């Protein structure tokens, strides 16, 4: 059995610690960072800590009961899938953190783990208020398409998490980029389309989406770019990255098409859905320094809907809150390292 060394006085200097490889000393020093983005993302995450109790869900059941049958189904299926995403991400992050060596990056991952658990708690609070918690959390047992998507997302996470090489670390980081940057987005759009009909769900998703897109996605984009910069990554691994995002697009569209065909709502079309997912995938590729490969189109209505709710300071306080729930802005480029 390998012995874990929590303290290594002969380990690397903090400023020499890489994400993959090496022998760290065991210290977390926020005053000395090898990268500029890790402490910045940590501070932004910490500044924007929120809790589900800050969202007014007192009228959620009454509002849910006023939805059409298709809208209710979309609501339930969306939260069934989103809740799995956060549950899987929390477990994956615990494993990915063990593979990383840079202690400050591990610290940021620790904070993200807490936020993913907070998201899971938010789904429980929301669905309990709505009165259908047990039904929604068990939908994967009864819906083959939902179960299939969950299985495929889980398989992407599991495929490379054994570590052992920089290439595997890079592929594993890509699984998280797919989750944060693709698998959540149509679900967010569906709840925003319902909008004022279910303000509790809408406001809860605002907070969750801001965490995912303003800090979690930039964190793994920077982890990806740093691992790639610090190591000699093979061309076969880059080809595998493209295959992974192609798989993510296919998985997301298969589930999206199923929901649209089974529960059509509010003018969403197959073309709109495809253009939206292709645009997101191209953007994620560009963010990690790779060439886009999907058919490009103008920014879609669904993208604009998500972006609108990412505005940092548009959430007002409500009578359940002790403070205004504004999401602080970052003054530093999170993609700069």
Report whether 186 contacts 279 (CB < 8 A). Answer: no
Three-state secondary-structure class, residue 194: helix
pLDDT of 84 above 80: yes
Rounded CA-CA distance 83/137 in Å is 8
pLDDT attached to residue 24: 76
Question: What's the number of CA atoms in the CB half-sphere (13 Å) around residue 240?
Answer: 17
Q: Domains of the chain: which residue ranges?
A: 37-49+58-308
For 254-274, the three-class secondary structure string (H helix, E strand, C coil) is HHHHHHHHHCCCCCCCHHHHH
Report whether 146 contacts 139 (CB < 8 A). Answer: yes
pLDDT band at 315 (very low <50, low <70, confident <90, very high): very low
Which of 127, 145, 161 is CA-nearest to residue 55? 127
Check residues 135 and 329 and name the one with the higher pLDDT. Answer: 135
pLDDT of 271 above 60: yes
Rounded CA-CA distance 267/248 in Å is 24
pLDDT attached to residue 17: 81
pLDDT in tens, 244-260: 999 999 999 999 999 99
What does pTM read for this prediction?
Answer: 0.90
Weakest-pLDDT range from 10-19, 270-279, 292-301: 10-19
Three-state secondary-structure class, residue 104: helix
pLDDT attached to residue 325: 47
The partner residues of 24 in beta bridges, in order of sequence, read 12
Rounded CA-CA distance 146/258 in Å is 9
List active site positions.
123
Q: Which long-range contacts (CB under 8 A, 24 or more apart) does 228-232 make?
A: 228/170, 228/288, 228/289, 230/18, 230/19, 230/20, 230/166, 231/20, 231/21, 231/166, 231/167, 231/170, 232/166
On whether the 37-49+58-308 domain is CATH 1.10.1060.10, my answer is no
Rounded CA-CA distance 204/231 in Å is 39
Rounded CA-CA distance 84/82 in Å is 5
Weakest-pLDDT range from 94-98, 131-135, 152-156, 331-335: 331-335
pLDDT of 324 above 50: no
């Amino acid at each position: 059995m390998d012995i874990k060394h929590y303290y290594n006085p002969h380990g690397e200097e903090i400023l020499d610690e890489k994400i993959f490889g090496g022998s760290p000393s065991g210290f977390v020093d926020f005053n000395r960072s090898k990268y500029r983005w890790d402490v910045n993302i940590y501070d932004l995450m910490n500044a924007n800590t929120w809790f589900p109790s800050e969202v007014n869900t007192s009228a959620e059941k009454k509002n849910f009961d006023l939805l059409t049958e298709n809208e209710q189904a979309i609501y339930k299926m969306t939260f069934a899938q989103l809740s799995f995403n956060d549950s899987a991400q929390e477990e994956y992050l615990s494993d990915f953190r063990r593979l990383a060596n840079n202690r400050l990056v591990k610290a940021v991952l620790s904070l993200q783990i807490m936020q993913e658990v907070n998201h899971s708690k938010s789904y429980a609070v929301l669905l309990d208020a709505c009165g259908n918690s047990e039904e929604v959390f068990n939908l994967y047992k009864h819906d083959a398409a939902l179960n299939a998507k969950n299985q495929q997302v889980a398989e992407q996470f599991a495929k490379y998490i054994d570590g052992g090489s920089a290439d595997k670390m890079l592929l594993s980081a890509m699984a998280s980029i797919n989750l944060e940057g693709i698998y959540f987005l149509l679900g967010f759009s569906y709840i925003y389309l319902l909008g004022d009909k279910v303000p509790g769900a809408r406001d809860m998703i605002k907070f969750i989406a801001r965490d995912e897109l303003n800090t979690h996605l930039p964190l793994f984009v920077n982890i990806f770019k740093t691992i790639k910069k610090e190591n000699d990554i093979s061309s076969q691994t880059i080809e595998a990255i493209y295959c992974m995002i192609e798989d993510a697009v296919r998985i997301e569209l298969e589930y999206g098409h199923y929901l649209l065909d089974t529960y059509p709502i509010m003018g969403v079309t197959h073309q709109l859905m495809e253009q939206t997912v292709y645009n997101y995938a191209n953007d994620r590729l560009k963010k990690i320094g790779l060439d886009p490969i999907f058919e490009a189109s103008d920014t879609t209505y669904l993208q604009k809907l998500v972006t609108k709710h990412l505005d940092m300071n548009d959430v007002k306080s409500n009578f359940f809150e002790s403070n205004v729930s504004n999401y602080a802005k970052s003054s530093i480029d999170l993609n700069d390292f």
